[in-house]
Amino acid sequence: MGINGVWGNLGVASSALVTGVIGQYLGWRFAFIVPGIVTILIGIAFAMLVVHEDRKGSKQAAAQARVARQDMWRV
């Protein structure tokens, strides 16, 4: 969670600086286009690299553990 907090907040904090520099040197339209293209490329790379969970066999049984009726009051 610490890594997510650091990089997530760093992205939010630096976004104004990055788009300001892009807008200053390339124009206000590119301040929208460049971050949009970068975000789309990162999203595509993430979708291609993410490992999908396989829920067959014992993993599926463990994920669907049953609770006895007399123990449901604790849940």
Q: Give 16-66 pLDDT, tens digit per residue.
A: 999 999 999 999 999 999 999 999 999 999 988 887 666 565 555 555 666
Report how far Cα 22 is from the mean position of its chain's Cα atoms: 24
Looking at the predicted structure, is the pLDDT value of residue 73 above 60? yes
pLDDT on residue 29? 96
Looking at the predicted structure, is the pLDDT value of residue 2 above 90? no
pLDDT on residue 49? 87
Beta carbons within 8 Å of 75's beta carbon, 6+ residues apart: 67
Q: What is the pTM of this model?
A: 0.57
